[in-house]
Homo-oligomer: A and B are copies of this chain.
Amino acid sequence: MNDFQFQNTTKVYFGKDQLHYLHEEVLKYGDKVLVAHGGEFIKNSPLYTKVIHELESNGITVYELGAVEPNPRHTTVNRGVAMCKKYGIQTTLAIGGGSTIDCCKAIAATSLSETDNIWDLVEGKAIWKDALAVIAMPTIASTGSEMDKSCVIANVELGIKSGINGEPIRPKAAFLDPTNTFTVPARQTACGGFDIMAHLFDMNYFVNAEKYPLQFNVVETLLKTVRTQLPIAIKEPENYEARATMLWAASWALNSFCTSGFKTQASLHALEQFSSTMDLTHGLGLAIVMPKWMKYLLDKDDSVADDFARFGINVMGVKNSEDKKGVAYQTIEALQAFIKDELGLPVHLSELGLDGSHFDEMKVKACYGKDSLPRAYRPLTQEDCLNIYKMCL
């Protein structure tokens, strides 16, 4: 096992009756809070009314930042920074998905820096060492940003998604209420759930090194649990136990226990450039590319057969046999069927009316502008990426 350091300080309030702790958490830092959300859907929800009441009835002044985009823009972050600096706000509260939480993290760091522009932090032009308090209230089980210390921001002018990473922006508290995810439509539930699975695949399950029994087995168990519970959450949107399992799994897929000691470069998250170039939902991009990536690797490299077969047998319910390569192909078919039939997601870009006109741009981004991803589960060149993208058409 490689040496590692682990700490996750976020205080989690989990369940349907925890909101009354919110004002205590906010008042630890001050009596002014920026509440960020994605727009009318949240603003008109009973949750929003309850949150504002909980805050204002405890003497907290609320400043509102609405219209935070999916893939939040750096200009939106800067709008929040201006408010925090102008009004002396001490805490940012995100109500929404990973994008809203990431936006709040970016605002929190920039507000205590010398610049008013998050992109100066992203590019290392300005130093940041501290941040306003961040509190997260996720309304979808997906990114796990609520217990994580990084954020991703989109610079539309430059066509780049990038971010910052550091302990001060890890949420001080996270309020995880499964009932807040009841209204998430089937499609978004599926995409969020696949994002959880992709975190587990990418950072911990398909590794280019020795598998550590503890972390690896736990990751496989989380995968199996999500594989079972996600279709229930899709079919029965108000099934509390399924929603609760998904919400807690999202946090655990990214809270760095599972990655402790692992150092593999992510493959799927590198390949998933559909969201930044075609405005696809991140989880959908992952679901489209993953089975193709697996097939591409398996076609040319027998050494992946054992890992893929193990995944098939232990997670996807594929029957074991002596022909590991055969089992591995069946695993890919089972995954494709799971995505199509149980998650109800498209499996080809053509189903969405999309073509390959962005592929050349995407293959460069996938390799972070370099020739290849050398430390991924299996190294990928730009040409490999392009070939995989073509399989997605």
A residues touching B (Cβ–Cβ < 8 Å)?
A: 1-18, 178, 210, 212-215, 217-218, 220-222, 224-225, 228-229, 240-241, 244-245, 248-249, 252, 257, 260-261
Contact = CB atoms under 8 A, between A and B. Distances in A.
Contact of A225 (B8, B214, B229, B257): B214
B16 A241 contact: no
Contacts of A16: 3
A265 to B, nearest CB: 21
B228 A221 contact: no
9 contacts: A6-B11, A6-B12, A7-B12, A14-B260, A213-B225, A213-B228, A214-B229, A214-B249, A217-B225
Given A3-B18, A9-B9, A14-B5, A229 B213 contact: yes
A7 B7 CA distance: 11
Contacts of A18: 3, 5
A11 B7 contact: yes
A241 B214 CA distance: 10
The 4 closest A-B pairs by CB, nearest first: A3-B15, A7-B11, A6-B12, A1-B244
B245 A212 contact: yes
A4 B4 CA distance: 28
Contacts of A17: 3
Contact of A15 (B1, B210, B249): B1
A14 B7 contact: no
Contacts of A229: 213-214
A214 B245 contact: yes
Contacts of A212: 241, 244-245
A15 B5 CA distance: 9
Given A3-B17, A7-B12, A16-B3, A217 B224 contact: yes
Contacts of A11: 5-7
Contacts of A217: 221-222, 224-225
Contact of A260 (B10, B221, B240, B248): B248
A245 B212 CA distance: 8
Contacts of A214: 222, 225, 229, 245, 248-249, 252
Contacts of A213: 225, 228-229, 241, 245
Contacts of A220: 221
